[in-house]
Amino acid sequence: MRTPGALAWVLVASACHGAADPPVRQTVFDPTASGANVAPVEVGSTALALEAPFPPLDRPGTRGGPEWLGVSVLRGGVRFARPSHWMIRGASVDPGHAFIQYVSPNAYSFGIYERSDSPADLWRDVLQRYENDVAAAGAKAIGRRVPMATGTNQGRAYTVERKTPVPSHSREYLLRSDHRIVLVQVVTQDDNLSRLNAELLEVLTHLEVL
């Protein structure tokens, strides 16, 4: 187990379905979007399938901040607490490709993506495939393979710089359990991600990959 203090150090360092039926793709988008970006929830999908409440992680906000909502996502594979003012921008429950992405009023996005890697794979192979994906997308990892952990899972942290479609920086965390490997991605247009440290520390401290 990694203590909150050690996780905070990593944040700073990285700154530098019926049985016979086929899977139903389920996607939602930010309801505040407009024009070409608007897309309806697909038929048969439900918000509960994308994000289910997990009350044991609910807690009140502090110093006038938002409440924290405990949720279960990725078909029950990940649990964490998030600020109540986050909105779901996109999500899918496709087996092997599940993800959920939120947008924060604090001008960043937070996503959790199911990786196709086997949890039995060696770390070095998992990391190399991820790094290859980053490079193939035209991005650059400027900080890589920093050891980190949530309260229950080990991982590696990266800082990634992208030029397209718009310049952005992200903190990306590969986390593994005995059953899955996920990528947690935080994206902002800020050059310096340090203003997000306190909120991200709260999220990651209570995040559990099952």
Domains of the chain by range and CATH? 4-209 (3.40.1000.10)
DSSP state of 187: E
Instruction: Show Cβ contacts of residue 3 under 8 Å, excluding neighbours closer than 6 positions.
Output: none
pLDDT at 34: 35
Instruction: Show Cβ contacts of residue 44 under 8 Å, excluding neighbours closer than 6 positions.
Output: 24, 26
Residue 80 has pLDDT above 90, yes or no: yes
Q: Pick from 78, 108, 109: which is nearest to 93 by CA?
A: 78
User: Per DSSP, what are the bridge partners of residue 74?
Assistant: none
Query: Is the pTM above the cut of 0.85?
Result: no
Rg of the chain over Cα atoms, rounded to whole angstroms, equals 17
Q: pLDDT (tens digit, 9 = 90+) per residue, 5-32? A: 445 445 544 444 333 343 343 333 333 3
Length of the chain: 210
Instruction: Show Cβ contacts of residue 150 under 8 Å, excluding neighbours closer than 6 positions.
Output: 2, 7, 175, 204, 205, 206, 207, 208, 209
| Residue with token string 């949890």 | 119
Instruction: For residue 86, give both structure tokens.
Output: 């986050």
Q: Pick from 45, 91, 43: which is nearest to 71 by CA?
A: 91
Whole-number Å distance between alpha carbons of 187 and 72? 21
Q: pLDDT (tens digit, 9 = 90+) per residue, 129-176? A: 999 999 999 999 988 999 999 989 999 999 999 888 888 889 999 999
Instruction: For residue 110, give both structure tokens.
Output: 């937070």
